[in-house]
Structure formats: structure tokens, C-alpha cells
Amino acid sequence: MSAKTSRTVGKVCSYILLIFFACIFFMPFLWMLSTAVKPTNQIFLNPPKWIPDPIKWENFATIFKRMPLFAYTKNTLVVAILPVLGQIFAAPMIAYSLTKIPWKGAKYIFPLILATMMIPWQVTQIPLFITWSKLGLVNTFVPLVLPAFFGTPYYIYLMRQFVKGLPDSVIEAARIDGANEFVILYRVVYPMCKPVLTTIMVLVFIGGWNDLNGPLLYLQDSAKYTLSIGLQMFLTTARQEWDLLMAAGVMFTLPLIIIFFLAQKQFISGISTTSGLK
């Protein structure tokens, strides 16, 4: 067998394995989608029926009637998008100051930032709630949004690893041309950080979209509830209505799948670059 044939066979086998595992990992979502449009009498059939007959698309319309989905979605977008803006504002600035600006405190500050990652959120939950309560900001979106504008250790770490690998010659050339550090950051560093910025945006958005503990802790007015709280409440009211539960789950999950597929190239590039993978 020639070397070219061996490479072709190896590539075909790799694709077959990838397709096989992709189908396995995607199967739970397909089952959820199938159950979401099934008549009630077909949900527990044995053997299972993947393609329902007839297809009950009205299950999705029922979700809109049973819960204020538009209001929940609007609130969820607030606590998912604003933290994204906060992180892409703060994390690059902090990472750039720790890696490309020479000052003595950088080598001490970064270990302290990493050390805060070791503190479980359960430890800080009560003190933070007391602080926000004394500030009169409980039952607002501020506790869920404002901390992102000061950076999160994990995203600072990702940015720092990426910015550290950027060529110093480009930054020095900008300084020689008279650019200040803010101009260098936003006109030189930002364009070169698209992969890791996309990774951070996707991770922060998914975290905000899926977050249940934060909204459950700080939001008391039902008009401000997010999708995660709405879905949890729906689970308690629709205990045996598995078709409606799956329909709600599909509507909750689908935006995340679409966002990941749209950003997957930059996302994987950012993860591989910052983690040292080749």
C-alpha cells in the first residue's frame, strides 16, 4: 500500500469515527426534539419511535401560552449580552497590562488573580448578597452584570496567555510611532485577539444564558425572571407533560447550538491557542 493510499485510508477512518461520535453526542438533542413534537401516546413506546406521526408542532405554541417566553428571553439577553461586553472590555485591558506594559507589580498581581479562582462561589455567595443588599441593588440586574466589567479571573487568564504570545516588535513599533497604550490596545492588540475574544464571548454568553443560581438569588420580581428560572418553574407545573417539557427544553437550548456553530472556528482556534494545543 502506497503512502498516499495509507493517508487516504487513515483520513477516511478518522472521518468515520468523528461522524460516529458526533451522532452519539447529538442524539440526546435529537431525542429531545423528537419528544417535543410527539403525541402523548407515542412518548413511551417500546421500541421508541424517532419520527412521530402525526407531528405536533402546536406544542411549541402551547409553551408561549403557558409562560411569558418573550419577557423571559428579553431578561436573559440582558444578563447574557451585557456581561459579554463587560468581559471583552476588562479582560483584554488587564491581560495587556500584565504582559506588555513593564511594571513591577505585574508578577505579583497575576498569581493573586489566579488564586481567586480557587475560592468556591459558595464561600462568597452570602457576603456578596449582603453587600448588594446593603447597596439596595437586590432585585435588579446590576449584581448579574456589573462584576463582568471588572474582569473574571478565568477570562483574564485566557487573554493573558494569548496576549503574551503576540510579537513585541509590533507593539514597540506602535510606541515608536507615538501611539499611547490605549491606542495600541484597541487598534493593534484587539484585531490580533479575535480568536480568543470570540472564545470569551461564547463562553460568557452561554454562562449567562444558562445561569440559574445568580438570577434565583438576586431577582425577586417575576417580571425580571430569566429563561432558566422560567424553565425551572415550568418543570414544577408540567410534571407529567413530557412533550411540553421537551419543547421548552428545545427552545431553551437551540440558540446556544446556533451560536456555537456560527462561532465554532474562532472558538476552537482561541481555545487551542491559549491552552498550548497544536
pLDDT in tens, 37-48: 888 777 777 787
Q: What pLDDT, in 10s, does the model give residues 176-190?
A: 888 888 888 888 888
Whether residue 267 sits in one domain with residue 216: yes
- How confident is the model over 123-155, as pLDDT tens digits? 888 899 999 999 988 999 999 999 999 988 889
- pLDDT at 275 exceeding the cut of 90: no
Would you put residue 38 in left (φ > 0), alpha (ψ -120 to 50) or beta? beta
- Dihedral sign for Cα 267, 273, 274, 277, please: positive
119 lies in the same domain as 143: yes
Q: State whether 115 and 184 are in the same domain.
A: yes
Mean pLDDT of 211-220: 88
Residues 130 and 224 in one domain: yes
Check which CATH number belongs to the domain holding 204 and give it.
1.10.3720.10
The residue out of 13, 31, 56 marking a domain boundary is 56
Q: Quick one: 40 and 64 in the same domain?
A: no
Under the banding of pLDDT at 50, 70 and 90, the label for residue 69 is confident
**What would the mean pLDDT of 206-221 be, rounded to a whole number?**
89
The reply to whether 134 and 210 lie within a common domain is yes
Calculate the average pLDDT of the chain: 83
Does 71 share its domain with 10? no
Model confidence at 194, pLDDT cuts 50, 70, 90, reads: confident
The domain tally of the chain equals 2
Residue 3 has pLDDT above 70, yes or no: no
Give the cell for residue 172: 514597540
The percentage of the chain sitting over the pLDDT mark of 90, rounded to a whole number, equals: 12
DSSP for 93-148, written as a single string:
HHHHHHHTS--TTHHHHHHHHHHGGGS-HHHHHHHHHHHHHHTT-TTSSHHHHGGG
Query: 208, 86 in Cβ contact below 8 A?
Result: no
Same domain, 66 and 48: no
pLDDT of residue 276: 43
Helices (H) and strands (E) in the chain, counts: 14, 0
- Clarify whether residues 106 and 229 are in a common domain: yes
Instruction: Give residue-wise pLDDT tens across range 11-27.
Output: 888 888 888 888 888 88
Q: Are residues 255 and 167 in the same domain?
A: yes
Expressed as residue numbers, the domain containing 8 is 3-56
State whether 52 and 65 are in the same domain.
no
Residue 269 is predicted with a pLDDT of: 63
* 11 & 124 share domain: no
